[in-house]
Amino acid sequence: MSWWAVLRVQIANPAKHSPPTKTFEAIIDSGASECIFHSSIGKGIGLNIERGEQSQTQGVSGQLTTVYMHRVSLYVPGGHVLQIKASFSDDIPVAGILGISGFFENFKITFDPSSTPPGFELERIYRA
């Protein structure tokens, strides 16, 4: 049996002081180098996706995907609001992926596959 760790998050456009999106599910992925969200979510908070810093990423499929980087506010349960640089793409099959840069660098995540259903715990890391 396989499972994904999913966290309900929100993002906002800090440049426009916009309200956050509706809550959506993002996969917690320790194999992802960065946070990436579907372009439709970025457009919903007023980002001009294609004006972001363009780069390419490669997932486990080996296929290159063009992404556009933007600064966003990431709202995580527990009242945490992080200012991060995130990628946006039309080519991801989920709403969001929480990766190392932007998410794992700010939280200690403990996965517990022994419970039913499997779960995880988050602990915020504060750096000096």
| Beta strands at 36-38 and 80-89: parallel, antiparallel or unpaired | parallel
Q: What is the pLDDT of residue 18?
A: 84
DSSP for 45-87, please give it.
TT--GGGSEEEEEE-TT--EEEEEEEEEEEEETTTEEEEEEEE
Point out the least confidently predicted range of 15-19, 37-41, 82-86.
15-19
Class of domain 1-20+27-89: mainly beta
Whole-structure pTM value: 0.92
- The answer to whether the CB of 86 falls within 8 A of the CB of 70 is yes
pLDDT in tens, 20-54: 999 999 999 999 999 999 999 999 999 999 999 99
Q: CA–CA separation, 108 vs 58, rounded Å?
A: 25
The DSSP letter of residue 94 is S
pLDDT in tens, 104-126: 999 999 988 888 888 899 999 98
